[in-house]
Structure 1
Amino acid sequence: MRFAIEEINNSSDLLPGVSLGYKMYDTCGSIARGIKVALALVNGNEIFSAVSGVPCTRPASVQTILGETSSSPCMAISTVIGPFYIPMISHFATCACLSDKTKYPSFLRTIPSDYYQSRALAHLVKYFGWTWVGAIRTNDDYGNNGMATFTETAQQLGICLEYSVSFFRTDPYEKIQKIIETIKASTSKVIIAFLSHMDMDVLINKLSVHGLTGYQWVGSESWISDSQIAAMDIHHILDGAIGLSIPKAHVSGLKEFILNVKSLNSSNNELFIEFWETLFSCKFKELKSTAENPRECTGHEDMTGVQNSFTDMSLMSIFNNVYKGVYAVAHALHKILSCNETCNKNVQLDPFMILQRILKIYFKTKEGDEVYFDENGDPAAKYEIINWQPRKNSIVEFVTVGLYDASLSPDKQLTLQNNSLIWESNTKQVPVSVCSEKCPPGTRKVLQKGRPVCCYDCIRCADGEISNITDSVSCVRCLPEFWPNQKKDACIKKEAVFLSYEEIMGALLTAASLFGTCMTTGVALIFFKYRKTPIVRANNSDKKKKK
C-alpha cells in the first residue's frame, strides 16, 4: 500500500498536486479489534496548530478503508461502516456472502468471490473423474460458505462427499485428532481442503506427526501457493496437490521497495531493530547477549542473499490486489476532483460519492492489468490451476498447469495441461477415487441401501433385456423379433433355422412324415374300395340319410 501511495504521490498524471495519506492498524487477527480500529479510522481526530498557536483537533475521517484479509472480519467491519457508505476494499476476503449489497453496501474487493472458486473446484474434481471425495473446511464464514457452494455444485455434477468436517485453529487437540481418525477410516483418496492458510498451518503439523500420506489434496487459493506451508511439509504429505490460485502478477519496482528498509529504520527504530535481528539472527551491540546470539548486527547486512518469507515474492499476486485497490481509490478521486493539469481541491468529498465512482471506474495498471468492479463490487473471476511439484533438496515448485476463466462459455472455462501434472507420491498416474467402479454395458446400477448415490452394485440385465451405456440405471427389453447378444449390450435379429435332410434329426422327421402320409393314403384307399361295407358305412362315410 505504501508503495502504491508513494508512486501516486510522485505522479504528475494521477491526482496532480494532491497527496494521499494513510493510517495503518494491525487487527492481530481479532474481529473485535478490527471493528475497533475501523471505528477509529471513521471517527478519528487529528491535532493541528491554529492561527493562535493553540493546538486544536478536527475530524479526520478516512475516505476509504483497505482490508481486511479474512472474510469474517470484513463482514463485521462492513456491517458497522456500511450505513455510512464508507468504501471498504479487501484484497483477500473471498466469501461469496460479501457480494450481498443489501447487507454490505460499501464492500468491494480486488479478489474474485468464492462463488466462482467453489464451482471451479467442483468442475476440477469432475474433470479427473473423482466422484468420491472427503472435505475439510475452516469453521468460519470463508470455509462454511465456500464449502456450501462446492457441495451444491458437486451434487449437480454427480460427486459425493464421504465426509465433510470443519475445525478452527484454536480448537482443542481432540477435535483435530478426530478429523485425522476420520481421514484414516475413509475410503476416498481425494481431500478437498477449503482452509485458510493459518488453519492449514495447524493441520499440516498434525498430519506430519501421523505421517498421513497417500492422499490427493485439492486446495483453495488461501493456501495452495503458500511457500511457508510448503516449507513446513517436511514429510511431503502435500506433494502433487492441485488447486486454484490468484493469477501470477508482477509489479515493477515493488520488490526493490520492500527490500529497501531505510524508511523503516528512520520511522520506527524499535520495529527496525526487532525485524533486523530476526532476519539475520543477530543482536545489535548494545543489546547483544553472548549466551543467546553471539553474532553482532552491523545494520549493513546484505538482504539480497536472504531466503525467507520476507524476501519471498511468491505472494506478489496478493500484493498486486492491494496495489490495484489503492489505484482504484486514486482514479475515483481523480474523477471526482475533475483533475486535468490540476485538481479542484474545493470539492467536498463524500463517502457515498467516492463509493459510486469506484464502482464505475475502469483503468489499466502499468503492467496492463484491467481493473473494474461489477454491480456487486467483485472483479472478474480468473484463476490459475497450481500443481505442487517436488524438486531436489525438498523444494516444492508451484507449477501453473491450467486456467479457469468464469467469463467464458461453460465448455471453455476450464483448460488443463495433463501431461505436465504430478500427483501424490510423485507419480504421473491420475489417482482414482470412486465409491463403486462404473457399471459396464450389459448391467444396471442398483443403489446400496443407506449409502450415497455414488455407491451402488452392478446387476446383470435379465433375460431378454439389454443396456448399451455405461452406468445405466435400467435395462431395456428387446423387440419380439430380436434377442440379446451374449454380452447383453445389444439386440440382434433372430435367425430362421432349417433342418437339413443330411442331419439325423432331419432324416428321422422326414421319414416319420412320409410314413404318416403313406398310412393316411392307404387308409383312404381302403375306405374307398370298401365303401359299401357295413364297417365303412358305420364310420359315417355315407352322409345321405334314408327316410
Structure 2
Amino acid sequence: MSSFLPSYLLLFILLYSYFCYAMSSSVFTSSCQLQGQFHLNIMHKTGDVILGGLFPVHFFSSVPDLSFASEPQQPSCHGFYVQGFRQAQTMAFAIDEINNNSSLLPNVTVGYTLYDNCAELGIGFRGALSLASGQEEQIILHNTCVGKPPVLAIVGETSSTRSIAISSILGLYRVPMVSYFATCSCLSDRQKYPSFFRTIPSDAFQVRAMIQILKHFGWTWAGLLITDDDYGLHAARSLQSELSLSGEGCLAYVEVLPWDKDTDELRRIVDVMKQSTARVVIAFVHLSHMINLMEEVAKQNVTGLQWLASEGWTATGAVLQTPKFMPYLGGTLGIAIRRGEIPGLREFLLQIRPDLHHNNNYGNSMVRFWEFTFQCRFAPAPAGWVEGGGAICTGKEDLENVNTKFLDVSNLRPEYNVYKAVYALAYALDDMLQCKPRRGPFSGHSCATLQSLEPWQLLYYLERVNFSTPFGDQVSFDENGDVVPIYDVMNWLWLPDGSTKVQNVGEVKRSAFKVEEIILDEDKIFWNFESKKPVRSVCSESCPPGTHMVRKKGEPKCCFDCIPCSEGKITNKRNSLECTSCPEDFWSNPQRDHCVPKKTEFLSYFEPLGICLTAASLLGTFICTVVLGIFIYHRRTPIVRANNSELSFQVLLSLKLCFLCSLLFIGRPRMWTCQLRHAAFGISFVLCVSCILVKTMVVLAVFKVSKPGGGTSLKWFGAMQQRGTVLFLTSIQAAICTAWLVSASPTPHKNTQYQNDKIVYECTVGSTVGFAVLLGYIGMLAVLSFLIAFLVRNLPDSFNEAKLITFGMLIFCAVWVAFVPVYISSPGNYADAVEVFAILASSFGLLITLFGPKCYIILLRPEINTKKAVMGRGAELIPSLCIHTY
C-alpha cells in the first residue's frame, strides 16, 4: 500500500499539471504565434479573395547583420527596376479590371498582396511563405485555423531557380502558383511541382523554336553560352538532347558564363568563340551576364558572329541602349515573349500617386519609383531609400511630362503574361463559384463556397481553364501546367543614325499537329554582314549526291568527310549516311548518283572480233564448198580416185559443218544455241576425225598388203566397213552429247564476276565432266589418227597421204592442247572467241594440209594428174589400192 501511494500521487500531479497548462494557454481559443513579419511589401488591397504576387521591384539586396548578437533586421533592397514595378502594377490593374467586370466574379471582390523579391532567392522564398501563411495571427478553434486562407494563389516568380524552390514547398500544400517568366522545362514535372502553372512557354518549346530557326537558315554548327543556374543548365541539356534527336545540328562548344565579372574567364570564353569555326552563337543567359560578356567581345573586337538570343535578353533595353555593342549585336535574332496589348493600362499607370497609398503600407515602393522617375527626394528622405538628387519631390509631378519607359505600353511582354496569369486565376475562381450544389467535382459531389475556399480546390478548375484575351490569344494549360506555346521572333535592326530598333520578323507556335511551326518575314530581317545575307555556319559542307558522310573521329556528328560511293552503289540525296547498292542488272554512273543499265557483253556479230570470226567461218565454209565442187567435178581423175574419194567427200562435208558450228558461238546466247553449240561442235569434229582415222587405217592396211603374208588385211576395210566404222565412232560422241544434255544441259547465264559494270552473257557448260568427256573423246581419236599416220608416213609419196594426215593431225592436236588452258583462263566472251578460234584454226589446218596439195595438182598441175604419174614407183600397189578406194 505504501508503495502504491507515491505512484498514484504522481499520476494525479501530472494530470493536474496538464489541466492547468491547458487552461492557462487557452487551448480551446488560442492564436498562432508568428515567428516574424516580412516588410518588403509593394502594395496591398483587401477583398473577399486575396491573390498574392512576387515581383522584382529592385535588382539588389543588402544582407543584414548575421552576428545574432541582436534580433536580425529585415533585408533592404536597392537598384530600382522600373519594369518589375510595372509588372506589379499590371497585376493590380488586372484585378481592378476584374472587380469592375460584372460578368466575371459577380458579387466577389478580389484583393491582392504583392511583395518585392529583390531578385534574390532567399527574399523571394520568404515572401512566398509570408503570402501562404499570412502576416496576421490566426485564431485556432479545435486545432483548426479560423477564416479564409491568407492568399488563394500566387502570381510569380520571374526566375526559374526561385520558382523551383518556392513551388517545391507550395506544391506540398497544393497552393497554386502561376509564373509569368519562369521557363525551365524542369518545372513541367507534375510529380515534383503539382501546383505550378505558367503563362510563358517552357524552355523545351523555346529550344525547339531555336532549332526551327537553325534549320530554317541551314545553321548546323553553333556555339552555346549559358548561365550557371537552372535556366541555363536545363536549356543546355534540352538543346543538346533535341539536336541529337532531330539530327538538325551540333554544338561546337558549351560555355558557362560566370555570375560575377570574372575578366579572365570571360576572356577565355571569347577566345573560344574566336577560334571556333561556328559563326552562330546561341545565348541562354540573363541580361547582366550578357552585358559582362559583350564588354569583353567589344574589347577584343569579335565581329562576324550571328547571335541567337533567348527570351531572357532579346527585348531588353539595357543592351540595346549601349551603342558600342551594336557593331557586334546588330542583326541578332531572338526568341521573345509574345507581345500583347492591355487596353487601359496606360491610363491606370498615370493615376499612380505616392500620396494615395501611404495608408496601405505602399509608400516605400511608390516613393522609390517617384524618386527614381523624377530624380528627386521626399523630405525627410527615408534612410537608405533616396534615388534622386537634391530636388524635393512634391508628389504632384506629372508622369506624362517625363520621358520614362514606365508608360510605354507598346511592347508589353512579361506584363502581358502577368495579365494572363491573373485572368486565368479569375476564370478558374469564377468556374469554381458557379458550381451547382450536389454536382461538384469534390467528394460527395460537393462544391467549394466563398466562405470555405481552399487553395487545392482552385487547382481542379485552373487545370481546365480556357479563355481568350482581348488581344485574341487563347489561354489554357496542358497536363503539365504549361500554356499553349507561342513566341515572337525578333531582329535587332541597326539604323543608319546609330540607334537600334527591335522589330518583330515572325513567330513560332505549335501547330494543330503538335509540331513547332515557324513563320518568318525574311525581307524584314537585318543581317549585320557585308553580304546582307545569312551567315553560313557548318562544320562540314554538305555532301553532294554520289557521296556519303563519314564522321570524323573524335568530332561531333556534324563534322564529317564526304566519301564517294564505291562502284555499284549510288546516292541521289545530299548528306546521305550510306550508299545504296544498284539492282543486279544496273551499275552506278561515274557520278555515283544514278543507277544505269549495265553494259551487256557477248561475242557479237557486229563487233570487230565477231565480224572477223564470222568472216573466217564463212570463208572456211565457202572454201570447203569450192573444194568439194572441184573434187566432184574431177572425181574420175586419178588423184581423186587414188585417195578414197568417198571419205574425202565426207571429210569435206564434216569440215563444212565444223566451220558452220562456230557460228553458234557468236551472238547473244539463247537456250537452243547453248544446247546445240557444243553438241554440233563435238559431233562435227568426231565425224571429221573419224573419216581421217579410217583413211589412215586404209593406208596402213594397203601398206601391209604390200608385204608377204599381208594379203588378207584389206578385207576388213571395204566400203561398208569404212562407213560402219565412221558411223560407229560418231554415234559414240552423239551418245555422250545426249547424256550431257539430259543430265546437265548448258544454259544461258548472266555473268557479273568478270567485270562488275558489265553483264557478260555466256553459256554455262552445265556439266564440266560432260564437256571434258566430249573433248577427251575427240582428242583420243585425233591422237590415234596421228599415231597411225606417223607409222605409215614413209610409204611411196605418189599416192600416200599419210604425211599430210600426220602434219594435219599434228596441227589439230597442237591447237586443242593449247585451247584448254587458254579457254579456262579467258574471261567472259573471250572464252567463246578462243573456242571459235580453235575450231577455225583446226578446221583450216585440216582443210589446207589434206586438200591443199591435191587442189594444187588438180588446178595448177593437171599434167601430173594422170594414172602414170600417180602410179610412179609404187605401181605394183595400185591395183590393190584402187579396189578398196573406188
User: Compared with structure 1, are the counterparts of its residues 286 and 410 closer, same or farther at alpha carbon in structure 2 (3 Å cutoff)?
Assistant: closer
Q: Which residue of 2 aligns with 1:382?
A: 486
Q: TM-score, normalised by structure 1?
A: 0.83
Deviations 1:220-276 (A, max 9, x none): 222212233221353312211112222220001112222433256653555555434
Contact kept in structure 2, 1:485 and 1:492, CA below 8 Å: yes
What TM-score comes out, normalization by structure 2 length?
0.53
**1:533 counterpart = 2:776:** no
Amino acid in structure 2 at the alignment position of 1:64: A
Partners of 1:89 and 1:325 within 8 A in 2: yes
Judge conservation of contact 1:240–1:426 (CA < 8 Å) in 2: no
Higher Cα radius of gyration? 2
Is 2:266 the partner of 1:176? yes
Q: Is the CA contact (8 Å cut-off) linking 1:46 and 1:59 kept in structure 2?
A: no
- Note the residue ranges of structure 1 that are not aligned, 5 or more in a row: 49-56
* 1:257 lines up with 2:368 in the alignment: no
**SS at the partner of 1:142?**
helix
Task: Work out which of the residue numbers 509, 512, 533 in structure 2 matches 1:408.
Answer: 512
**One-letter amino acid matched to 1:394:** G
Within 5 A, what are the aligned runs for 1:323-472? 323-338=419-434, 347-409=451-513, 413-425=517-529, 428-463=532-567, 465-472=569-576
Counterpart in 1 of 2:372? 278
Q: Quick one: which of 188, 203, 206 aligns to 1:114?
A: 203
Q: What is the root-mean-square deviation in Å for CA atoms of aligned residues?
A: 4.0
Please state how far the C-alpha of 1:379 moved relative to its aligned partner: 1.1
Distance 2:398 2:508 in 1: 40
Task: State the Cα deviation string for residues 47-76 of structure 1 (Å, max 9, x = none).
Answer: 79xxxxxxxx98862111111101110110
Alpha-carbon distance between aligned partners in 1 of 2:551 and 2:450, rounded to the nearest angstrom: 73
- Could you tell me the percent identity over the aligned residues? 37
- After the TM superposition, which of the residue ranges 11-20 and 121-130 deviates more from structure 2? 11-20
Summarize the Cα distance change of 1:316–1:515 in structure 2 as closer, same or farther, 3 Å threshold. Answer: closer
Change (3 A) 1:114 1:176: same
Deviation, structure 1 residue 520: 8.6
Q: Which residue in the other structure is 2:183 paired with?
A: 94
- In 1, the alpha carbon distance for the partners of 2:250 and 2:551 equals 13
Are 2:282 and 1:192 equivalent residues in the alignment?
yes
Match in the other structure for 2:121: 31
The letter for the 1-side match of 2:426 is: A
Deviation (angstroms), 1:459: 2.8
Q: CA deviation at 1:451?
A: 1.2
State the Cα deviation string for residues 103-146 of structure 1 (Å, max 9, x = none).
11111111112221111211221121111111111221111112
2:240 counterpart letter in structure 1: T
- More deviation, 70-79/211-220: 211-220
Residues 45 and 58, structure 1, Cα contact 8 Å, conserved in 2 = no
Equivalent runs, 1:54-203 vs 2, <5 Å = 61-158=150-247, 159-170=249-260, 172-203=262-293
Contact 2:201/2:485, CA 8 A, preserved across alignment = yes
- 1:238 matched to 2:329: yes
Task: State the match for 1:247 in structure 2.
Answer: 338
Answer with 200-209 or 153-162: which moved more.
Answer: 200-209
**Secondary structure of 2:575's aligned partner:** coil
Superimposed CA distance per residue, residues 145-170 of structure 1 (whole angstroms, 9 cap, x where no aligned partner) = 12212211112232111101122433
SS at 1:108's partner residue? strand
**The residue matched to 1:388 in structure 2 has which SS?**
strand
Answer 1 or 2: higher relative contact order, Cα 8 Å, separation at least 6: 1
2:133 to 43, 51, 64: 43
CA distance change for structure 1 residues 334 and 473 in 2, over 3 Å: closer, same or farther? closer
1:294 deviates by: 7.7
Contact 1:239 1:389 in 2 (8 A): yes
- 1:207 maps to which of 286, 293, 297: 297
Deviation of the 1:83 alpha carbon:
1.3
Unaligned runs of 5+ in 2: 1-90, 139-145, 382-387, 437-447, 632-638, 644-799, 810-845, 851-883
What letter is aligned with 1:18? V
Question: 378, 397, 400: which is aligned to 1:304?
Answer: 400
Kindly provide the amino acid, as one letter, of the partner of residue 4 in structure 1.
Answer: A
Aligned residue identity for 1:440:
P
User: What corresponds to 2:706 in structure 1?
Assistant: none
Residue 406 to residue 476, structure 1, CA distance change in 2 (3 Å)? closer
Gap change, CA 1:490 and 1:247, over 3 Å in 2: same
Partner of 1:53: none
8 A Cα contact 2:323 2:498, kept in partner:
no
Amino acid at match of 2:803: I
Change (3 A) 1:364 1:477: closer
Deviation string 1:450-483 (CA, Å, 9 cap, x unpaired) is 1112112223344555433222334455567655
Higher helix share: 2
**CA distances 1:361-395 after superposition (whole Å, capped 9, x unpaired):** 22333444433222222210111222222224333
